[in-house]
């Protein structure tokens, strides 16, 4: 069965939204001024959104609103009121959510439309789709790290009422979406709140190696998207890029619309031709039939080249297919491979490299910085000098045309003086043809006059919180200390280094299951991993079944969706782990509905937020109080760095990496430590305290510092 997926385009401002409509996008996703995971984009006011919705719906297009951040304590009413405000004019076609709290908050606000779970919600395995549908999701956005085989597994496992959305083009993060705390750990600018400062794009050193080892190329499936047409559950091809301009949006959207339509036409022609051949004669020579099939299936070469040329014009980074083709999986970082499988050690950067700055010395005029262009540049072209983390980084608008090979003398302030050979990138442009299209669509937008209804109760609307069960104070729930070990202690199931009264926590694994004595199973806290991939889900089901059969009773799930692995929860203690990124009581209420008996909160919050939560919570709460909390998890390699050895940022911040299963775990060289706050936390009502006993590299004998994460600052 051939499916016609929608082309879903990004929009960070109105001009980009209009470019998407002009290019033929079926749907647009965008963010508001608050609660968007791309807060660096201009984003939309509710008035702007109302006009755009009216225009889009008049053209039979859809608009999805991304409210895909986690919500801090005290923000829940603002979230609900914002959703209610969206309902005063034309309604959005869907809300995109990371935080499970949106399910409750949006429904209480009166929203009856679709909810799509963001890739930040980390719905990464087949069973998770069932839970998402149970919570009311109409769509799940799949991770960018999946192969085509894993996508097929997910599509075949989805409930009938759940659609899937897949990224086909755009920027890649080194870390798995929803599993990155790097930016937040360095200073409170959380990627899960849309404030990421992109530490993965920076230069790092290890020994004699230096480079942007974690900076990824852009994903581009281009002609391979035709392989998705046989999966009717893949309802949407998504283009990343809410921080991009209208030039990028227009060309990438146009390219994928062309590739989709041509692939569908090819499939239809093949179907008709095959049917006709069968009807005319079953005795046709098989070689002739095979030749006819090849002719029908082959994509139009001219159209393919045209679409690929459009993608090259879009001013993104160099392209990669990442893990999409399992037999040709490539590492998408600067030191990995291109989408053609060629080795490439060039650094990645968004934009088209248009030349390098050359220092020309002149005894009369002094030093001059000259750019000799590699291609034609147009008036209003937007250029970037160097990389964002370099001291001479700056942007400039071109005010005149430059032919290929032309020279441009740059007027650069002394405090921004670049070194000789600094690259210059073309990052956006406003060619006349696109400007003309945007002017036409701007006129259509200005014709729209949607009537926004009044809602006198809007500003006083308060969502009903889940019922608290009163865990605050020293007399609350029974305290539980968990020492989570990075590996098995010495001795078969031994407890060396674990202080009396502390429960030993182990990561669930075949080795742990075989090495631990069955008499100890019921005394151990068994931890599931933060990410379970589709190709390993059956193994995890077997591991869980064996643990239950051997007497395990306490499990920590590190994604809300993992609760579905435990159909019969009677006699079990099921805890939502810290990797669930739970930050508010409405999310805790959702967890309670999934069968969890306690929740360990995200480590990202501030002291004020933490101390307020237990008294309002429907479940007993816990925290990670000490140990090496990872700054991120990745499914990509760390070539050419060595795992287990320190690498450093330009500010001499140390990090190290370790491989566990399919994932690389990145750790800071300084541990989290809130042990001095324990008495305060116990008084507030916390009852679960976790210490992560990961073994750091030998170079870290005594950490030079500890971290209180965001305890003393308000996470942005």
CB contact at 8 A, 90 and 53: yes
Fold of 465-627+672-710: TIM Barrel (3.20.20)
> Exposure string (b/e) for 42-68, b if CB count within 10 Å is 16 or more?
bbbeeebbbbbbbbbbeeebbbbbbbb
* pLDDT band, very low/low/confident/very high, at 273 (cuts 50, 70, 90): confident
CB contact at 8 A, 669 and 703: yes
User: Which tokens is 55 given?
Assistant: 């225009």
User: Which tokens is 173 given?
Assistant: 């993060």
Look at residue 30 and give its three-state secondary structure.
Answer: strand
Phi and psi torsions of 388, nearest 5°:
-60, -25
How confident is the model at residue 498, as a pLDDT?
A: 60
Residue predicted with more confidence, 339 or 102: 102
CA dist 448 → 9, 46, 47 (Å): 21, 15, 12
Q: Is the pLDDT of residue 431 over 60?
A: yes
- Alpha-carbon torsion (543, 549, 550, 551), positive or negative: positive
Rounded to an integer, what distance in angstroms lies between the CA atom of residue 147 and that of residue 154? 11
How confident is the model at residue 287, as a pLDDT?
A: 41
Look at residue 265 and give its three-state secondary structure.
Answer: helix
Q: Is the pLDDT of residue 490 over 50?
A: no
- Residue 468 CB contacts under 8 Å (≥ 6 apart), including other chains: 585, 615, 616, 617, 618
CB contact at 8 A, 185 and 631: yes
Greatest mean pLDDT among 238-247, 448-457, 478-487: 238-247
Domain 6-172+217-305+437-446 indexed as CATH 2.40.170.20? no
CATH, range 352-428: 2.40.30.10
Phi and psi torsions of 333, nearest 5°:
-75, 175
What's the half-sphere exposure (Cβ side, CA atoms, 13 Å) at 697? 17
Tens digits of residue pLDDT in 290-301? 443 344 344 477
Q: Are strands 368-372 and 319-320 parallel, antiparallel or unpaired?
A: unpaired
Tens digits of residue pLDDT in 366-410? 778 999 999 899 999 999 999 888 889 999 999 999 999 999 998
Q: Do domains 352-428 and 465-627+672-710 have the same CATH topology?
A: no
Percent of the chain with pLDDT over 70: 89
Give the mean pLDDT of 573-597.
97
Tens digits of residue pLDDT in 508-553? 999 999 999 999 999 999 999 999 999 999 999 999 999 999 999 9
Give the mean pLDDT of 91-107.
96
Q: Please choose, from the candidates 68, 70, 180, the residue with its C-alpha nearest in 3D space to the C-alpha of residue 605.
A: 70
Rounded to an integer, what distance in angstroms lies between the CA atom of residue 140 and that of residue 129? 8
CA angle 497, 643, 528 (to 5 degrees): 55
Neighbours of 467 (CB within 10 A): 12
Rounded to an integer, what distance in angstroms lies between the CA atom of residue 36 and that of residue 242? 10
44 forms bridges with which residues in the sheet?
A: 32
Rounded to an integer, what distance in angstroms lies between the CA atom of residue 277 and that of residue 127? 42
377 forms bridges with which residues in the sheet?
A: 402
User: Which tokens is 2 given?
Assistant: 């051939």
How confident is the model at residue 340, as a pLDDT?
A: 55
- Sorted by where each begins, the domain ranges of the chain are 6-172+217-305+437-446, 179-215+323-339+630-670, 352-428, 465-627+672-710
């Amino acid at each position: 069965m051939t499916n016609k997926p929608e082309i879903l385009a990004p929009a960070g401002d109105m001009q980009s939204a209009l470019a998407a409509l002009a290019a033929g996008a079926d749907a647009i996703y965008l963010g508001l001024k608050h609660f968007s995971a791309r807060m660096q984009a201009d984003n939309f006011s509710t008035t702007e959104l109302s006009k755009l919705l009216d225009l889009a719906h008049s053209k039979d297009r859809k608009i999805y609103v991304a409210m895909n951040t986690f919500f801090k304590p005290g923000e829940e009413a603002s979230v609900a009121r914002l959703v209610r405000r969206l309902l005063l004019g034309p309604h959005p076609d869907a809300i995109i959510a990371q935080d499970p709290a949106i399910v409750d908050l949006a429904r209480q606000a009166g929203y009856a439309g679709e909810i799509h779970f963001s890739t930040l919600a980390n719905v990464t395995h087949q069973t998770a789709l069932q839970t998402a549908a149970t919570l009311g999701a109409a769509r799940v956005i799949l991770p960018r790290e999946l192969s085509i085989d894993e996508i097929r597994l997910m599509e075949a496992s989805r409930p009938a009422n759940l659609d899937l959305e897949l990224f086909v083009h755009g920027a890649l993060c080194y870390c798995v979406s929803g599993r990155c705390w790097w930016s937040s750990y360095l200073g409170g600018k959380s990627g899960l709140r849309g404030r990421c400062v992109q530490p993965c794009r920076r230069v790092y050193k290890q020994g004699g190696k230096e480079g942007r080892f974690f900076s990824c190329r852009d994903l581009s499936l281009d002609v391979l998207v035709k392989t998705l047409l046989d999966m009717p559950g893949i309802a949407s091809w998504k283009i990343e890029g809410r921080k991009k301009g209208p030039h990028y949006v227009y060309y990438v959207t146009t390219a994928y619309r062309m590739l989709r339509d041509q692939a569908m036409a090819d499939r239809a022609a093949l179907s008709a031709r095959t049917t006709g051949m069968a009807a005319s004669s079953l005795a046709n020579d098989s070689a002739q039939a095979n030749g006819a099939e090849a002719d029908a299936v082959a994509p139009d070469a001219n159209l393919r080249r045209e679409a690929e040329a459009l993608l090259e014009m879009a001013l993104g980074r160099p392209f990669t297919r990442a893990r999409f083709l399992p037999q040709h999986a490539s590492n998408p970082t600067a030191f990995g491979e291109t989408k053609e499988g060629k080795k490439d050690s060039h650094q990645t950067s968004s934009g088209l490299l248009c030349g390098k700055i050359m220092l020309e010395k002149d005894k009369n005029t002094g030093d001059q910085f000259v750019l000799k262009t590699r291609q034609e540049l147009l008036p209003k072209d937007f250029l970037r000098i160097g990389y964002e983390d370099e001291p001479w980084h700056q942007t400039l608008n071109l005010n005149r045309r430059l032919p290929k090979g032309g020279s441009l003398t740059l007027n650069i302030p002394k405090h921004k003086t670049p070194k000789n050979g600094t690259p210059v990138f073309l990052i956006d442009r406003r060619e006349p043809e696109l400007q003309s299209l945007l002017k036409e669509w701007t006129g259509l937008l200005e014709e729209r006059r949607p009537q926004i209804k009044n809602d006198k109760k809007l500003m006083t609307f308060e969502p009903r919180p889940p019922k608290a069960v009163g865990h605050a104070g020293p007399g609350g729930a029974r305290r539980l200390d968990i020492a989570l070990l990075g590996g098995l202690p010495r001795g078969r199931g031994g407890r060396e280094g674990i202080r009396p009264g502390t429960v030993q926590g182990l990561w669930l694994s075949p080795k742990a299951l075989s090495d631990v004595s069955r008499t100890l199973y019921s005394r151990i806290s068994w931890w599931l991993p933060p990410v379970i991939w589709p190709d390993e889900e059956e193994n995890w089901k077997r591991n869980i079944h064996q643990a239950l059969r051997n007497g395990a009773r306490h499990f920590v799930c590190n994604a809300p969706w993992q609760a579905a692995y435990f159909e019969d929860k009677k006699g079990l203690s099921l805890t939502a782990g810290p990797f669930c990124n739970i930050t508010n009581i409405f999310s805790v209420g959702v967890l309670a509905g999934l069968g969890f008996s306690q929740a360990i909160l995200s480590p990202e919050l501030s002291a004020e937020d933490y101390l307020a939560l237990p008294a309002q919570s429907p479940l007993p709460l816990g925290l990670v109080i000490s140990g090496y909390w990872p700054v991120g998890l990745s499914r990509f390699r760390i070539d050419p760095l060595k795992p287990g050895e320190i690498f450093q940022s330009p500010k001499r911040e140390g990090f190290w990496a370790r491989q566990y299963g399919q994932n690389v775990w990145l750790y800071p060289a300084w541990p989290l430590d809130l042990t001095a706050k324990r008495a305060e936390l116990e008084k507030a009502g916390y009852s679960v305290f976790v210490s992560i006993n990961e073994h750091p590299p030998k170079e870290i004998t005594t950490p030079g510092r500890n971290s209180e994460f965001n305890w003393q600052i308000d996470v942005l």
